[in-house]
Amino acid sequence: MARLIALLLLASLLSACSPRLMLVRSVADELASQGQAEEEDLGLARESAAFYLKLSESLLRQTPDHLALAESVAGGFTQYAYAFVAFEAERLESRDARTALQLRQRAARLYLRAHRHAMAALEARHGGGLRQALQMAQPLPPLPSEQVGLAYWAAASWAAYISLSKHSPDIVADLPQAQRLAELAWAAQPLHGEGALAALLGTLEAARPGGSSRRAEALFAQALTAAAGRNAGVYVGQAESLAQSAGDRPAFEALLRQALAVPGNSLGNQLMRQRAQWLLDSADDLF
pLDDT tens track for 41-87: 778 878 888 888 988 898 898 888 889 999 999 999 999 999 999 99
pLDDT tens track for 199-248: 999 999 999 889 999 999 999 999 999 999 999 999 999 999 999 999 99
Pairwise CA distance, residues 18 & 121, whole Å: 22
Closest listed residue to residue 40, CA positions, set 262, 274, 266: 266
Pairwise CA distance, residues 207 & 55, whole Å: 35
Closest listed residue to residue 32, CA positions, set 8, 12, 13, 57: 57
pLDDT tens track for 239-280: 999 999 999 999 999 999 999 999 988 888 998 999 999 999
Residue 73 CA: distances (Å) to CA of 142, 198, 233: 24, 21, 20
- pLDDT score recorded for residue 50: 87
pLDDT mean across residues, the chain: 88
Cβ atoms of 126 and 142 closer than 8 Å: no
Residues 6+ apart with CB under 8 A from 2: none
Left (φ > 0), alpha (ψ -120 to 50) or beta: where does 139 sit? Answer: beta
- pLDDT score recorded for residue 205: 96
Q: CB 237: neighbour CB atoms within 10 A?
A: 26
Query: What interhelical angle do 67-80 and 148-163 show, nearest 10?
Result: 30
Pairwise CA distance, residues 286 & 228, whole Å: 28
DSSP one-letter code for 242: I
pLDDT tens track for 189-200: 999 999 999 999
- pLDDT score recorded for residue 43: 80
Q: CB 274: neighbour CB atoms within 10 A?
A: 17
Residues 6+ apart with CB under 8 A from 148: 185, 188, 189, 192, 197
Helical spans, DSSP H, in the chain: 2-13, 17-34, 42-62, 67-80, 87-92, 97-125, 130-135, 148-163, 169-172, 175-188, 196-207, 213-227, 232-238, 249-260, 267-281, 283-286
Q: Read off the pTM.
A: 0.88
- pLDDT score recorded for residue 63: 85
* 36: pLDDT strictly greater than 90: no
Coil, strand, or helix at residue 248?
A: coil
| The one-letter amino acid at 59 | L
